Structure 1
């Protein structure tokens, strides 16, 4: 399980150093093999390889000629890059991935239970503010049942 939020920096070569706590967990879960891909919200998704393989199988099982399916496949599979953490726990993001997510030097790694999201720091701050507003709206409408619907 991957949780927490950490502000990190990309090095000059576009490499991300995975924090030690997460690195240890990834070594156990996927032998340090990851798949990094694009998310429709202009961030990157970082999956343990077995988790991404399961997702790709599910995507492949969707109706092949449905417009929405093809758009999602192009994004998630088209941007997918298999990587292995190096000896220092770093992974290389491709230039296309960095451009897509508009990543600058400072990034935010956000645990999402079975994967991570990787955001440009400024984009994360904006997204976080929007998410807080949506959460407050949901809770104010039906505070007793809002979380049950999750």
Structure 2
């Protein structure tokens, strides 16, 4: 399972092999790709009800193609192109446990004062263990992103 910046979010990238997404059956379109012979588009019916006469026939159908992301956010199904998804929903950074501990401890101390917590965390790196200092020195952008957006802790090897 992967975690993304905007929560709660469930998302799956369609690779053509899935037969269902979020419990909805994937249906191939009858239009075929000229090069591969595979369906060009796929769809899922998001509601199992008879549409009202004034509804458009596709109100309850979501269409997509291979490589698109199907996103279930707040019980709304939507489709996003790969680049759009990556821009909006970057994965949370993965950081070592020691760095996560430093961040938690330091953030708790700084929150008691009126200083800029992130600045102080960088400024006081000399007080951190050598491993933590080295990791942050070589991954400062990841550290800042983790501080601002959240993070997941690296699994033990």
Q: TM-score, with normalisation over the residues of structure 1?
A: 0.29
| Structure index of larger Rg | 2
* Greater RCO, 1 or 2 (C-alpha within 8 Å, sep 6+): 1
Q: TM-score, with normalisation over the residues of structure 2?
A: 0.28
Q: Which has the higher helix share?
A: 1
Q: Which has the higher strand share?
A: 1
